[in-house]
């Protein structure tokens, strides 16, 4: 493809002469898996290896936090709402003396 000044862009010598390379994908999670992947990558040919790393942040406090309390709805209120009983809903929702 010609550029705006009419010159042809130079071709990459690697692109013209390169043989196709089989691609491999390896993924790891956790400290042990990442260490094994690191060892595997260190044994590979540097010219054909690409490494992509993604970090995750997980606060230690998040794992120790108790689960939120379960909210339980009054079964009578649920049935009145389900059946569309407005009078029952009003009596159940109003404060009792």
Range of the domain at 45: 13-93
Name the stretches of the chain with pLDDT < 70: 1-18, 21, 46-47, 55-63, 97
Does the residue 61 lie in any domain?
Answer: yes
In a domain, 77, yes or no: yes
Domain annotation covers residue 1? no
Residue 82 lies in a domain: yes
In a domain, 5, yes or no: no
Q: Please list, in sequence order, all residues whose beta carbon lies within 8 angstroms of the beta carbon of residue 1, skipping any fewer than 6 positions away.
A: 8, 9
pLDDT confidence of residue 52: 74
Position 4 in a domain: no
Q: Is 60 part of any domain?
A: yes
| 64 three-class SS | helix
- pLDDT of 9 reads 58
Burial string for 25-34 (b: 16+ CB within 10 Å, else e) reads eeeeeeeeee
Q: How many domains does the chain have?
A: 1
Residue 74 lies in a domain: yes
Question: Tokens 């009078």 belong to which residue?
Answer: 87
């Amino acid at each position: 493809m010609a550029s705006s000044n009419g010159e042809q862009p130079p071709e990459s010598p690697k692109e013209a002469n390169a043989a196709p390379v089989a691609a491999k994908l390896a993924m790891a999670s956790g400290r042990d898996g990442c260490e094994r992947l690191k060892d595997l990558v260190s044994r590979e040919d540097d010219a054909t290896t690409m490494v992509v790393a993604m970090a995750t942040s997980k606060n230690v406090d998040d794992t120790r936090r108790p689960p939120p309390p379960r909210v339980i709805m009054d079964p009578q209120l649920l049935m009145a709402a389900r059946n569309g009983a407005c009078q029952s809903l009003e009596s159940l929702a109003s404060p009792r003396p």
